[in-house]
Amino acid sequence: MTRRAYPERFIRIVRSNKMIWESGYWKDDLLRLARVLTHKQQQKVWRESSMARVEKSIMTGFYIIRKLMDARKLSDAVVLERVSIQSFPHRGKPVTLMNWDHIDRHYDLDRSHQTSRSLIWLANQMVHSYVFIVSVDETGGLNGVFFSSDKERNKALHFAEATKVIQKFEQIGGKCPWKERYILNPDTGDYDVTLE
């Protein structure tokens, strides 16, 4: 059997697939997801498919953010920003696959406290969410999402306002670093990257 020769162009594309080469495509998707969530803020009738669309949009958006961070395609200022959320303490009863959706039983929803968390923490919570419940306001529009990761589920429940999620998607989707600095780190054998 002879080995098939591939054009150099194909080999280059395969090699660049390990990291995000051009972040614009990923950021365009973030802006599209922000528009989906903005539209859901006006929605009045909710079907199961609507809830799934919100869940997919939020999880996909935060996955994109995490990948952009890993690929060093976001400025340091954006990465270091903190996001304001609400947290609710766990009541002590284990959260399992059979009862995760009964948040009123597992968390004290009357004892919320405002806190801020790093963007990477929020992205990881969303991507690894064990509890994920869409919240609508009194008019029926998307209000936000209750969430807790597999590691956090027996510690606390968190709530992110839809408006803040949308703002973060729009901010990251619309920003491009304008200055990059690469310095070879002899300890790691790779480059430390600073973006502004």
Residue 4 forms part of a structural domain:
no
Please provide residue 132's backbone torsions phi and psi, each rounded to the nearest 5 degrees.
-150, 110
112 close to 159: Cβ distance less than 8 angstroms: yes
- 163 in a domain, yes or no? yes
Q: Would residue 6 count as lying in a domain?
A: no
Alpha-carbon distance 194 to 89, whole Å?
Answer: 37
Residue 16 within any structural domain of the chain? no
Q: What is the pTM of this model?
A: 0.80
In a domain, 8, yes or no: no
Domain that holds residue 33: 23-182
Whether 48 maps to a domain, the answer reads yes
Residue 58 forms part of a structural domain: yes
CA distance 132 to 18: 30
**Residue 113 predicted with pLDDT over 50:** yes
Residues 24-80 have pLDDT tens digits of 889 999 999 999 999 999 999 999 999 999 999 999 999 999 999 988 888 888 888
Q: Place 110 in a pLDDT band, splitting at 50, 70 and 90.
A: very high
* Secondary structure E strands in 2-120: 82-89, 113-118
- Give me the number of domains the chain comprises: 1
Rounded to an integer, the average pLDDT of 154-161 is 97
For the cut 80, the answer to whether the pLDDT of residue 135 exceeds it is yes
Nearest to 125 by CA among 146, 142, 111, 106: 146
**Closest by CA position to 55, among listed 69, 39, 37:** 37
Asked if residue 77 is part of any domain, the answer here is yes
